[in-house]
Chains A and B, each alone.
Chain A
Amino acid sequence: NAGVTQTPKFQVLKTGQSMTLQCAQDMNHNSMYWYRQDPGMGLRLIYYSASEGTTDKGEVPNGYNVSRLNKREFSLRLESAAPSQTSVYFCASCGGGGGGQPQHFGDGTRLSIL
């Protein structure tokens, strides 16, 4: 019972490099989310997808793009990495559509940009 799986778990990039963080869930959830977590700032929403085929900006979308590839997968892309994007990135999913269903989180991707 995997839940939400994020790959990779760790990554070091140089400034200007690009990379894609992968996220997959096996709970048949409609909604998926990408957050970044920085010390003292809690979780900040980067992008979310309410359902397959839709994506919307969150609180801190600049420098990121997303793709909802299908119902299971939601990827986050950094086109030109900057040191300010050094963070821990979490993917989450939930049933969506109202009803107050809680989110389920992956274990995170720890990204360092030099």
Chain B
Amino acid sequence: AQSVTQPDIHITVSEGASLELRCNYSYGATPYLFWYVQSPGQGLQLLLKYFSGDTLVQGIKGFEAEFKRSQSSFNLRKPSVHWSDAAEYFCAVGPRDFNKFYFGSGTKLNVKP
């Protein structure tokens, strides 16, 4: 069965510190992988996506993610967090034959000044 696990429900980092949000997936084959961000009261916005090729993908707002097949992981990183990055982040997977997606439960990021 397909599933996505985001083990950290809440994370607090200081502004300027580095960030890593974890995502593990369970899927029969290599899926498409996505990270979305949700600001309060808003819908989800795509940060980045992995289809194939380079395992390190760059996204918007200075985010990047690394796909590790051996660990079934797709962790999101940012070298230096800004206060405006405070939001909830969702990892999602989708099959290669159809656009049906499975979402993790989300990680809420707080940024300390």
A residues contacting B by CB (< 8 A) are 4, 31, 33, 35, 40-45, 48, 50, 90, 92, 94-108
Q: Is the CB of A98 within 8 A of B103?
A: no
10 more contacts with CB within 8 A, not counting A98-B97, A99-B99, A104-B46, are A40-B105, A41-B105, A42-B103, A90-B44, A95-B99, A100-B32, A101-B99, A105-B36, A105-B45, A108-B41
CA distance A88 to B92 in the complex (A): 18
Count of chain B residues with a beta carbon within 8 Å of a chain A beta carbon: 26
Q: With A50-B98, A94-B99, A97-B99 as given contacts, are A102 and B49 in contact (CB-CB < 8 Å)? A: yes
Q: Note all chain A residues with C-beta closer than 8 A to B45.
A: 105
Min Cβ gap B15→A in Å is 26
Specify which of A95, A97, A102 is in contact with B34 (CB 8 Å cutoff): A102
Min Cβ gap B1→A in Å is 11
